[in-house]
Amino acid sequence: MSNNFKGIAASNGIAIAKAYLLVDPDLSFTKTTITDVTAEQARVDDALKVASADVEIIKSRAEKNLGADEAQVFEAHLMVLSDPEMSGAFKQKIADDKVNAEQAVKEVTDMYIGMFEAMTDNAYMQERAADIRDVTKRILSHLLNVALPNPALIDEEVVLVSKDLTPSDTSQLDRQFVKGILTDFGGRTAHASIMARTLEIPAVVGSEVATQKITAGVTVIVDGLTGDVIVDPDSETLATYQQKAANYLAQRAEWALLKDQQSVSADGKNFVLGANIGSPKDMDAVLENGSEGVGLYRTEFLYMESDHLPTEDEQFVAYKAVVEKMAGKPVTVRTMDIGGDKNLSYWKLPKEENPFLGYRAIRISLDQTEIFRTQLRALLRASAYGNLWIMFPMIATLGEFRAAKKVYLEERAKLEEAGVSMGEIKLGIMIEIPAAAVLADKFAKEVDFFSIGTNDLIGYTMAADRGNDKVAYLYQPYNPSILRLISNVITAAHNEGKFVAMCGEMAGDPIAVPVLMGMGLDEFSMSAPSVLQTRSLMKKLNTADMKLLAEKALDAETNDEVIALVEAATK
């Protein structure tokens, strides 16, 4: 039986080392009734004082190892320890309930932890609950006179395995020895994950079972790229992962050099490599990977992650954050694409026989114009803070684009009248419905840009749902029928001097990229971790050769034939 399991990939890289279990000491205690309230309250004061002294030491170590910014969290811990309301609550509990200090501390901190964890709409606050747990453990350990284990004692190469990693744990990690991190709890934005990325230690978090399945000293492989965890690997698996780890390091070194470079082919033609995002939270990855723009901002997540239709201000805050972070580089925002498989809990759309062919995206926006106008106003206001482009999804006819543009111009005029400052905005459409791809020459006269959404374009062209295993073979991105549609769109745009982007999965696909370069696609937008890899690929390719490849691909007969052509041309 396999002991392997999977968690959330939180920090890139592959670690292979012996497991070091960072397990909490027993901090259990019995609730007792006390008589001397003052003495018990004094125990609390003492524990808080010693705990503060501990944190001071950890903080200075963190400042030294990680820098002042990273040590800030301990400043917050110190403030928790000196919080007048909290220590007041401990003492009140002791006086009111006549319970021992341990019980009072537990009840009060549990109350705070519960309160922060209940903020389910705020991942940041939920994760701060971990900070309070950390502080509580320290107070309890002093009340109970037991030592907390200390990661600073590690003196050989290990994969650190724990339920959760607290800031005081991570601040004491020595990169020389801690090769990987594996936890039961936490998400990509948990403190442990952020620290692991800062320290460039491969990490898998939220595995749920790591501390149960792993015993101290056993060899563990942590694949921070996929989230895979392999326990006690056989020699073959070990060799495979050693190779993977070496490849990753070599590639990362090569890609890192490209972070601040332009995306340029071997013969010096420039392209734009953008990243796709779903929320301002994704911006760190966008910047870390040297993206030259945001080619697709999927705004529907604002609607899906809320319990109400997001207000103009809520949307404005999100859009502004993204354009500001890009500092003048273009951010293409797609207006709400709800419907199809994307539903809202608070606004039920009528059940449909064929939701993908039904009431979705721009079709809803043009019908429920108040929702659309709210979004456009938020976008117009945010445009003052950077370089913002707007595109409408699921456009099938020119009439739809004209109607959407009309609403946009009306809202723009209203804001202008109110003296609101706005930037210049390019208006474009997603090309994902074959009808628009075929009529691209007419659209090109009216829009500022196209962005080709390949996932839907392929689905609609092949009339096949890729999620259905029985017809999944029809998802053929390189089929010449698809390539001809794409080529038609690019040519039509360039004939009118317009810009063409692609924001579907094809844009970062190493088979498709050479062909698309040959067709002259202007912008490739993909998931942020693919950007540097694609930049590296482009550098090796010559556009004149790729133009010939594209011509052959357009004249090919099948998907497989195109793959063979690309492989031959890029060898």
User: What's the min distance (Å) between Cβ of 8 and other proteins?
Assistant: 22
Q: Using the rule CB under 8 A, is 427 a contact of other proteins?
A: no
C-beta of 89 vs 429, nearer to other proteins: 89
Q: Name the segment binding other proteins (CB under 8 A); options: 6-14, 91-99, 297-305, 314-322.
A: 314-322
Q: Using the rule CB under 8 A, is 245 a contact of other proteins?
A: no
**Which residue stretches of 37-122 are H helix?**
37-66, 68-81, 84-97, 101-117
Q: Name the segment binding other proteins (CB under 8 A); options: 72-80, 198-206, 208-216, 519-527.
A: 72-80
Q: If DSSP codes are grouped into helix, strand and coil, which group holds residue 199?
A: helix
In the residue annotation, 77 being an active-site residue is answered as: no
β-bridge mates for residue 270, sequence order: 264
C-beta of 179 vs 191, nearer to other proteins: 191
User: What's the min distance (Å) between Cβ of 305 and other proteins?
Assistant: 14
Residue with tokens 């459409």: 429
Contacts with other proteins by CB under 8 A: the residue count is 25
User: What's the min distance (Å) between Cβ of 306 and other proteins?
Assistant: 13
Amino acid making up residue 256: A
User: What's the min distance (Å) between Cβ of 419 and other proteins?
Assistant: 18
Q: Using the rule CB under 8 A, is 436 a contact of other proteins?
A: no
Q: Name the segment binding other proteins (CB under 8 A); options: 39-47, 70-78, 258-266, 375-383.
A: 70-78
C-beta of 37 vs 79, nearer to other proteins: 79
In the residue annotation, 308 being an active-site residue is answered as: no
C-beta of 48 vs 73, nearer to other proteins: 73
- Please report the beta strands in 323-365, taking only residues with DSSP state E, as ranges in sequence order: 330-334
C-beta of 313 vs 416, nearer to other proteins: 313
User: What's the min distance (Å) between Cβ of 480 and other proteins?
Assistant: 47
C-beta of 220 vs 382, nearer to other proteins: 382
C-beta of 311 vs 558, nearer to other proteins: 311
Q: Name the segment binding other proteins (CB under 8 A); options: 67-75, 156-164, 219-227, 388-396.
A: 67-75
Q: How far apart are CA 88 and CA 79, in angstroms?
A: 14
User: What's the min distance (Å) between Cβ of 334 and other proteins?
Assistant: 22
In this structure, the strands spanning 203-205 and 8-11 are antiparallel
Q: How far apart are CA 350 and CA 321, in angstroms?
A: 34
Instruction: Show Cβ contacts of residue 242 under 8 Å, excluding neighbours closer than 6 positions.
Output: 16
Q: Using the rule CB under 8 A, is 321 a contact of other proteins?
A: yes
Q: Which two tokens stand for residue 330?
A: 């273009």
**Torsion-angle region of 306 (φ positive above 0: left; ψ -120 to 50: alpha; else: beta):** beta
Q: Which two tokens stand for residue 58?
A: 């950890």
> Alpha carbon of 352 to those of 206, 254, 256, 359: distances in Å?
37, 49, 48, 8
Q: Using the rule CB under 8 A, is 189 a contact of other proteins?
A: no
C-beta of 72 vs 240, nearer to other proteins: 72
C-beta of 167 vs 206, nearer to other proteins: 167
Q: Using the rule CB under 8 A, is 384 a contact of other proteins?
A: no
Q: How far apart are CA 16 and CA 223, in angstroms?
A: 9
Q: Name the segment binding other proteins (CB under 8 A); options: 136-144, 313-321, 441-449, 519-527.
A: 313-321
User: What's the min distance (Å) between Cβ of 128 and other proteins?
Assistant: 6
Q: Using the rule CB under 8 A, is 317 a contact of other proteins?
A: yes
> Alpha carbon of 170 to those of 164, 190, 498, 525, 540: distances in Å?
10, 12, 50, 35, 40
Residue with tokens 């094809």: 506
Q: Which of residues 340-359 bind other proteins (CB under 8 A)?
A: none
Radius of gyration of the chain (CA): 28
Q: How far apart are CA 304 and CA 338, in angstroms?
A: 8
Q: Which of residues 73-132 bind other proteins (CB under 8 A)?
A: 73, 75-76, 79-80, 83-86, 112, 115-116, 119, 122, 124-125, 128, 131-132
Half-sphere CA count of 550, side-chain side, radius 13 A: 26
Q: How far apart are CA 513 and CA 477, in angstroms?
A: 11
Q: Residue 41: name the closest of 98, 112, 113 by CA.
A: 98
Q: Using the rule CB under 8 A, is 72 a contact of other proteins?
A: yes
User: What's the min distance (Å) between Cβ of 186 and other proteins?
Assistant: 17
Half-sphere CA count of 58, side-chain side, radius 13 A: 29
Instruction: Show Cβ contacts of residue 530 under 8 Å, excluding neighbours closer than 6 positions.
Output: 508
C-beta of 43 vs 320, nearer to other proteins: 320
Q: Name the segment binding other proteins (CB under 8 A); options: 68-76, 193-201, 518-526, 557-565.
A: 68-76
DSSP string, 437-492: HHTHHHHHTT-SEEEE-HHHHHHHHHT--TTSGGGGGG--TT-HHHHHHHHHHHHH
Half-sphere CA count of 402, side-chain side, radius 13 A: 6
**Which residue stretches of 122-162 are H helix?**
123-144
User: What's the min distance (Å) between Cβ of 263 and other proteins?
Assistant: 28
Task: Confirm if 291 and 528 have CB atoms less than 8 A apart.
Answer: yes
Task: Name the phi and psi angles at 220, rounded to 5.
Answer: -130, 140
Q: Which of residues 249-308 bind other proteins (CB under 8 A)?
A: 280
C-beta of 274 vs 280, nearer to other proteins: 280
Half-sphere CA count of 487, side-chain side, radius 13 A: 19
Catalytic residue among 77, 142, 191, 494: 191
Q: Using the rule CB under 8 A, is 313 a contact of other proteins?
A: yes
Interface with other proteins by CB under 8 A: which residues? 72-73, 75-76, 79-80, 83-86, 112, 115-116, 119, 122, 124-125, 128, 131-132, 280, 313-314, 317, 321
Active-site residue list: 191, 503
